[in-house]
Amino acid sequence: MPITEESELRRERYPYRGKGYAGVPDDYEKLDVEARWLARGAVVLRLPMVYGPHDWQRREEPILRRVRAGRERIPVGAANLLWTRGYVDDMATGVLAALDNRAADGLTVNLAETSTVTVGAWFEQILAAAGSGARLVRVPDDALPPDLVLSGAPAQHLLISVARAEELLGWAPGDPAARVTESVRWHLANPPDTLWTPEDTTTDETALNHA
């Protein structure tokens, strides 16, 4: 760590094959795309976990849905995973930098935030941005609600270096804490259609009983 553009790639191909993910074909493979286009002199931009306004995956929702429901205690696991993220606007400026500055032609380039906090600290940032006083409560990983499994103990961190993007493209993202606040404000103003249910309360309370 951190992972650079020269770090070893995963050896297995087609990770989504047979998983049945909506909209993801069995033969989807990013590494195949990289090999074909790098040979043509293209810039390959490797993106992190992207979040922000209009994010259809709603990365902050496991916390925000509990904030909307007025939950005062939120079950989490070890919450020590380091997974580098990227704000959508910063990813856009990175793409523009690659188009405007051809110094990275024929290379892979990581785009991501320049500092990464643990999942637990990220959850705390989300709560602060939402103006919530809810507490994160440690529970065993095997007791976690399904939408909070990201807070379990990690098998491997995903900490990304963006030194190449900074050096070759002259690119730099915004302050991560400020970006989280911008994202949370948008998602609070644009909630999903799904509502908190009595079953959700039961699931959380069952987890919290293991604290």
Q: Write out pLDDT tens, residues 105-139.
A: 999 999 999 999 999 999 999 999 999 999 999 99
Report d(CA 175, CA 172) in Å as an integer: 10
Measuring CA to CA, which residue among 83, 85, 84, 86 is closest to residue 156? 83
Does the reported pTM lie above 0.75?
yes
Q: Write out pLDDT tens, residues 52-106.
A: 999 999 999 999 999 999 999 999 999 999 999 999 999 999 999 999 988 999 9
What phi-psi label fits residue 23: left (phi over 0), alpha (psi between -120 and 50 degrees) or beta? Answer: left
Bridge partners (DSSP) listed for residue 32: none
Q: Write out pLDDT tens, residues 166-199.
A: 999 999 999 999 999 999 999 999 999 999 999 9
Domains of the chain and any CATH numbers: 30-208 (3.40.50.720)
pLDDT of residue 209: 97
Contact of 138 with 77, CB cutoff 8 Å: yes
pLDDT of residue 46: 96
Exposure of 18 in the CB half-sphere (CA atoms within 13 A): 3
Question: Among all chains, which residue has been given the structure tokens 């993910």?
Answer: 21
Measuring CA to CA, which residue among 162, 65, 157, 145 is closest to residue 118? 157
The DSSP secondary-structure symbol of 148 reads: G
Report d(CA 153, CA 7) in Å as an integer: 23
pLDDT of residue 133: 96
Written as one letter, the residue type at 83 is W
What's the whole-number mean pLDDT along residues 154-171? 94
